[in-house]
Amino acid sequence: MKESSSTGSDPRQPSTAKPYAPPPISPQDLPVDYAGFLAVVLGVIGVMFRVLFSHSQDLFIYALFNSYKIFHVSCILIYAFHLIEYRSQLEFSFYSIIDDGLNSFEKNFSSFV
């Protein structure tokens, strides 16, 4: 039995082939801008070091211009308090940066798992 088919609707014909066009990508599906992420990390580190050095300068100036020219216990305690505060700020900023990085990693690569 012979089947009749029209050549115009046959999908196997080369004339019906269309070139591949990638689907449009929405902005929320784009990967993380690692340059911006690196800029944020370096900016936070720079601010933390500036805070640490400013506290060190405060300690030096307080000891330098003290009328007795000695280190007071209060001066060292204030400096220790600033270092503890600096450490807690540094830990918080690093944990938030790591959390942002892991969230973006999970968002971008969850389709592969």
Question: Is the model's pTM score more than 0.85?
Answer: no
Structure tokens at 108: 């971008």
Host H or E run for residue 23: none
Q: What is the distance between the alpha carbons of residues 113 and 111, in angstroms, rounded to a whole number?
A: 6
56 CB-near residues (< 8 Å, 6+ apart): 79
Q: Where are the alpha helices (H) located in 65-112, listed in sequence order?
A: 73-109
Residue whose C-alpha is closest to residue 107's, from 31, 37, 27, 26: 31
Q: What is the pLDDT along the chain (113 residues), one digit of tens a residue?
A: 455 555 557 778 888 878 888 888 887 777 767 777 788 888 888 887 877 777 677 667 666 666 555 556 666 677 777 777 777 777 777 777 777 766 666 666 555 55
Amino acid (1-letter code) at residue 90: L
Which value, in Å, is the radius of gyration of the alpha carbons in the chain?
31
Structure tokens at 36: 């911006």
